[in-house]
């Protein structure tokens, strides 16, 4: 069923065998109910095919999203019709008088909800990218109603009985390996979502799911409100230390906000981090840092602490109803790690070395501050600023000097070149020929090495009001073949780069360039999919970041640097001397980067790996960090009040560790490429494409990595990549 995520079924799961069909029920349905459902399908399909947001997409390559018709006023009617049609399609499957077969049950479910899925895709993109008050109002009203629609499918006893009958007899069904995997995963997902519970348990679980969806929506709304604020600077002398490109970006942000004579530091990472790195004004650095780190934590109408406490209580209750010890056990059951202890062990294997490195970094920074007679003790708002000075002092490396070689448009072309050299893909811009949801969006037609069409790629690079912060990838349409017609992928990348002065090239940092390649790795994962059934498209949470993370490495590969890292004025490629300085400093500030991330992941796991829900998020965060020995000179990358990974949905809850888990495979894979002597090794790239990317979840991902690499991933590769000493596991069983 394509619309399962929209319908709010639980994504992470664990195989639970032996849930037999309820005694006294049959798996064949009612002829009368089946006929009624078919009649309803015909009636509602006619309506849906006339609705702008529900009807099949038209245009090139089998159809594209109708962004030119994406009006928030159309969403309620789209959801009304789409939900009713999806329910009728499910009723027809559940009440089919014929005995259940893979085709009339499991395969039929893959097509149910297709109309609603189209509307849901448009709605989700609007919510993230153009979140106007009208869009937010629709989200507040319809999130719980969409969840209720998902519950109705999960708790449809007749439907589950058919699935369970097939599951119990799966050994005799003569299914292909792909079909068997889809059957098993469908059954297990239903069980983990509550399909085998009693009616009373299902009623409570349904209420919890609906309440959670409302709380997620409200958390998002409050956080977006805080991120849409800015600190305005009115005196040019307060810009001391800021490169001209950053000054231009702050001016553009102020103009957008109606203050053309000021400079605006917007309360998002893409604006805050450059300011903290270069601003000489310590008072303003403290103000900007404090405002950014206190998003959602100001005791006002946008404070999120009470919402977080409610979410945690609901998650704990849901886990208990579903038979799991904690929310972490529930979320991790369908991951590569499988158990919270394994994730915890990996994190704690890295944590001590990272903390020790931070203490070294702070000592180096304090020495420079003392030498400058600054008369300060390093505080969190000083870290980026003095780290940059240490970088210059020790490595003769100036981040602003590096930025001058990373022109945004050039690095986009560099990412395309990487995809071509590795996988044979070519990107041709067709912007203006298909609808887009904002004028910033560019569109590219993607073809394979033989010239055949592969998919479409949408690129939305710039920050703006109403767009959530951060960077992400979205799939508008996935690959599928099960109907006999091949559906090709449509993917997108969304970034929050800041525009500079009109007509000037947009310069990005090395970290920004890596983010660009990271998100593009997600897009490639979608574009290269060869999945037959949409139900096997999604991979485990601690696998999905691996392909995106490994693609970051090509940013500093010599072929990309030579062709695309050219100075924005002279056009000269980045000189080898500068590359050497970057490489020499490759693990510089790694303590900060690792502790900033790991502290967030450890607090996430600690919060969800307990039976009694946290009631005071601020106190829990503070106490947990103290117990871990968190350096006082820095903060979590995502403090709990603004941790949207955890509280805007269930997606990364008890799963933020997954970036580190994926990085083990990422580091191991990059060593594989480097050892080959060719960063575009055709043999390794073929394995990446055919095993790591194309298969989706058609096969077990642990076994897939073994097929690709010839062995399990080497945890020590992660430690080597971060420049940490290689030590034995902290508690005997960490890593993979």
> Is residue 372 domain-shared with residue 463, that is, in the same domain?
no
Q: What is the pLDDT of residue 4?
A: 38
pLDDT digit string, tens, across residues 689-702: 999 999 999 999 99
Q: For residue 516, tell me if it sits in a domain.
A: yes
pLDDT digit string, tens, across residues 26-41: 567 789 999 999 999 9
> Is residue 603 domain-shared with residue 577, that is, in the same domain?
no
How far apart, in Å, do the first and last CA atoms of the chain sit? Answer: 31
Query: Which residue range is the domain that position 441 belongs to?
Result: 408-584
Cα(187)–Cα(483) distance, integer angstroms: 21
Q: For residue 26, tell me if it sits in a domain.
A: no
- The three state secondary structure string of 278-304 is HCCCHHHHHHHHHHHHCCCCCCCCCCC
Q: For residue 93, tell me if it sits in a domain.
A: yes
pLDDT score of 543 more than 60: yes
Of the three residues 584, 603, 619, the one that is the final residue of a domain is 584
- Strands 472-477 and 490-497, sheet pairing: antiparallel
> Is residue 442 domain-shared with residue 574, that is, in the same domain?
yes
Burial class of 180 by CB neighbour count within 10 A (0 to 12, 13 to 18, 19+) = middle
> Is residue 423 domain-shared with residue 393, that is, in the same domain?
no
Cα(299)–Cα(267) distance, integer angstroms: 17
Cα(187)–Cα(190) distance, integer angstroms: 5
Of the three residues 147, 171, 196, the one that is the final residue of a domain is 196
Q: For residue 16, tell me if it sits in a domain.
A: no
Read off the pLDDT of each residue in 181-193 and give the average, rounded to a whole number: 96
pLDDT score of 468 more than 70: yes
Q: What is the pLDDT of residue 553?
A: 97
pLDDT digit string, tens, across residues 635-685: 999 999 999 999 999 999 999 999 999 999 999 999 999 999 999 999 999
Cα(2)–Cα(413) distance, integer angstroms: 33
Give 497's strand partners: 462
* CATH number of the domain enclosing 615: 1.10.1370.10
Tell me if 704 sits within 8 A of 692, measured CB to CB. Answer: yes
Angstrom CA distances, 648 to 322, 358, 726, 729, stand at: 22, 30, 36, 33
Annotation says 184 is catalytic: no
Angstrom CA distances, 67 to 311, 439, 461, stand at: 33, 11, 17
∠ at Cα 287 (653, 289), nearest 5°?
30
Cα(527)–Cα(479) distance, integer angstroms: 8
Q: Would you put residue 615 in left (φ > 0), alpha (ψ -120 to 50) or beta? A: alpha
> Is residue 512 domain-shared with residue 431, that is, in the same domain?
yes
Cα(31)–Cα(29) distance, integer angstroms: 6
**Which of 51-55, 100-104, 155-159, 462-466 is predicted with the least confidence, judged by mean pLDDT?**
462-466
Cα(425)–Cα(390) distance, integer angstroms: 41
Q: What is the pLDDT of residue 17?
A: 29
Pick the residue with more confidence: 11 or 521? Answer: 521
Q: Do you know the residue count of the chain?
A: 736
Q: Which helix (H) or strand (E) holds 359?
A: helix 340-371
The single residue listed with the structure tokens 């006002």 is 300
Q: What is the pLDDT of residue 734?
A: 37
Q: What is the pLDDT of residue 270?
A: 87
pLDDT band at 18 (very low <50, low <70, confident <90, very high): very low
Distance from CA of residue 44 to its chain's centroid?
A: 34
pLDDT digit string, tens, across residues 554-583: 999 999 999 999 999 999 999 989 998 998
Catalytic residue among 404, 519, 545, 663: 519
pLDDT digit string, tens, across residues 430-447: 999 999 999 999 999 999
Tell me if 645 sits within 8 A of 638, measured CB to CB. Answer: yes
> Is residue 358 domain-shared with residue 491, that is, in the same domain?
no
Pick the residue with more confidence: 464 or 311? Answer: 311
Cα(733)–Cα(147) distance, integer angstroms: 38
Cα(550)–Cα(663) distance, integer angstroms: 8
Read off the pLDDT of each residue in 38-62 and give the average, rounded to a whole number: 97
Read off the pLDDT of each residue in 202-220 and give the average, rounded to a whole number: 96
pLDDT band at 586 (very low <50, low <70, confident <90, very high): confident
> Is residue 423 domain-shared with residue 570, that is, in the same domain?
yes
pLDDT digit string, tens, across residues 299-346: 999 999 999 999 999 999 999 999 999 999 999 999 999 999 999 999
Q: For residue 35, tell me if it sits in a domain.
A: yes
- Strands 453-462 and 472-477, sheet pairing: unpaired
pLDDT band at 726 (very low <50, low <70, confident <90, very high): confident
> Is residue 548 domain-shared with residue 689, that is, in the same domain?
no
> Is residue 376 domain-shared with residue 500, that is, in the same domain?
no
Read off the pLDDT of each residue in 270-294 and give the average, rounded to a whole number: 96
pTM of the entire predicted model: 0.87
pLDDT score of 602 more than 80: yes
Read off the pLDDT of each residue in 201-209 and give the average, rounded to a whole number: 96
The percent of residues above 70 in pLDDT, for the chain, comes to 95
Q: For residue 190, tell me if it sits in a domain.
A: yes
Q: For residue 245, tell me if it sits in a domain.
A: yes
> Is residue 46 domain-shared with residue 126, that is, in the same domain?
yes
> Is residue 458 domain-shared with residue 545, that is, in the same domain?
yes
Q: What is the pLDDT of residue 727?
A: 63
Read off the pLDDT of each residue in 112-121 and give the average, rounded to a whole number: 97
Q: What is the pLDDT of residue 134?
A: 95
Cα(736)–Cα(733) distance, integer angstroms: 8
Of the three residues 140, 175, 196, the one that is the final residue of a domain is 196
Q: For residue 15, tell me if it sits in a domain.
A: no
Token pair belonging to 334: 């369908």
> Is residue 109 domain-shared with residue 158, that is, in the same domain?
yes
pLDDT score of 86 more than 70: yes
* CATH number of the domain enclosing 89: 1.10.1370.40
Neighbours of 372 (CB within 10 A): 11
pLDDT score of 729 more than 50: no
Domain tally for the chain?
4
Cα(292)–Cα(595) distance, integer angstroms: 18
Token pair belonging to 40: 């309803």
- Strands 426-429 and 442-447, sheet pairing: antiparallel
Token pair belonging to 64: 């594209």
Angstrom CA distances, 633 to 193, 372, 508, 515, stand at: 42, 19, 26, 25
pLDDT score of 129 more than 90: yes
What is the chain's mean pLDDT, rounded?
93
């Amino acid at each position: 069923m394509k619309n399962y995520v929209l319908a709010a079924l639980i994504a992470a799961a664990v195989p639970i065998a032996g849930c037999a069909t309820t005694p006294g029920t049959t798996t064949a349905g009612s002829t009368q109910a089946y006929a009624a459902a078919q009649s309803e399908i015909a009636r509602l399909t006619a309506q849906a095919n006339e609705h702008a947001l529900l009807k099949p997409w038209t245009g090139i390559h089998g159809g594209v999203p109708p962004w030119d018709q994406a009006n928030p006023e159309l969403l309620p009617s789209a959801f009304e019709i789409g939900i009713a049609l999806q329910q009728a399609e499910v009723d027809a499957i559940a009440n089919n008088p014929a005995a259940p077969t893979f085709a009339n049950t499991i395969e039929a479910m893959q097509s149910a909800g297709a109309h609603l899925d189209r509307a849901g895709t448009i709605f989700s993109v609007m919510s993230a990218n153009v979140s106007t008050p009208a869009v937010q109002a629709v989200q507040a009203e319809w999130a719980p109603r969409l969840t209720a629609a998902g519950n109705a499918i999960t708790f449809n006893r007749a439907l589950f009985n058919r699935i369970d009958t097939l599951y119990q007899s799966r050994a005799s069904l003569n299914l292909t390996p792909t079909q068997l995997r889809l059957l098993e995963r469908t059954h297990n997902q239903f069980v983990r979502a509550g399909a085998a519970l009693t009616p009373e348990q299902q009623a409570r679980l349904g209420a919890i799911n609906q309440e959670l969806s409302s709380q997620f929506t409200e958390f998002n709304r409050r956080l977006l409100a805080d991120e849409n604020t800015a600190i305005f600077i009115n005196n040019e002398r307060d810009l001391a230390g800021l490169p001209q490109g950053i000054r231009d970006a702050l001016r553009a942000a102020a103009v957008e906000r109606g203050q053309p004579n000021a400079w605006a530091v917007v309360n998002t990472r893409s604006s805050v981090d450059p300011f903290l790195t270069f601003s000489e004004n310590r008072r303003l650095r403290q103000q900007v840092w404090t405002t950014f780190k206190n998003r959602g934590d100001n005791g006002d109408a946008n404070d999120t602490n009470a919402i977080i406490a409610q979410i945690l209580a609901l998650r704990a209750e849901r886990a208990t109803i579903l038979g799991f010890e904690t929310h972490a056990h529930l979320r991790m059951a369908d991951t590569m790690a499988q158990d919270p202890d394994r994730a915890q062990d990996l994190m704690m294997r890295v944590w001590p070395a990272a903390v020790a490195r931070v203490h070294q970094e702070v000592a180096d920074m304090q020495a420079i501050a003392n030498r400058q007679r600054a008369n300060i003790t390093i505080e969190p708002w000083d870290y980026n600023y003095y780290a940059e000075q240490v970088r210059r002092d020790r490595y003769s490396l100036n981040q602003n000097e590096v930025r001058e070689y990373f022109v945004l448009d050039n690095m986009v072309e560099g990412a395309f070149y990487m995809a071509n050299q590795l996988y044979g893909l070519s990107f041709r811009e067709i912007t203006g020929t298909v609808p887009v949801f904002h004028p910033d969006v560019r569109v590219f037609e993607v073809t394979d090495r033989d010239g055949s069409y592969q998919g479409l790629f949408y690129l939305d690079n710039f920050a703006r009001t109403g767009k959530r912060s951060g960077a992400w990838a979205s799939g508008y349409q996935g690959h599928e073949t099960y109907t006999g017609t091949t559906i090709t992928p449509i993917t997108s990348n969304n970034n929050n780069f800041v525009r500079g002065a009109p007509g000037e090239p947009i310069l990005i940092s090395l970290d920004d360039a890596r983010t660009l390649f990271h998100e593009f790795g997600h897009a490639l994962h979608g574009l290269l999919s060869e999945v037959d059934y949409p139900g096997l498209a999604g991979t485990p949470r601690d696998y999905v970041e691996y392909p995106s993370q490994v693609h970051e490495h090509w940013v500093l590969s010599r072929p990309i640097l030579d062709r695309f890292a050219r100075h924005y004025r002279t056009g000269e490629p980045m000189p080898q001397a500068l590359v050497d300085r970057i490489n020499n400093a490759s693990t510089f500030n790694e303590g900060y980067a690792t502790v900033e991330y790991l502290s967030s992941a450890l607090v996430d796991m600690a919060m969800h790996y307990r039976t009694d829900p946290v009631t005071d998020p601020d106190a829990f965060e503070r106490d947990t960090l103290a117990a871990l020995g968190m350096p006082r000179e820095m903060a979590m990358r995502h403090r709990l009040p603004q941790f949207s990974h955890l509280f805007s949905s269930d997606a990364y809850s008890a799963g933020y560790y997954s970036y580190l888990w994926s990085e083990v495979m990422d580091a191991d894979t990059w060593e594989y490429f480097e050892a080959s002597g060719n960063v575009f090794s055709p043999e390794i790239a073929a394995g990446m494409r055919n095993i790591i990317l194309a298969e989706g979840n058609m096969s077990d991902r642990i076994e897939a990595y073994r097929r690709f690499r010839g062995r399990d991933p080497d945890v020590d590769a992660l430690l080597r990549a971060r420049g940490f000493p290689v030590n034995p596991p902290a508690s005997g069983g960490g890593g993979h």
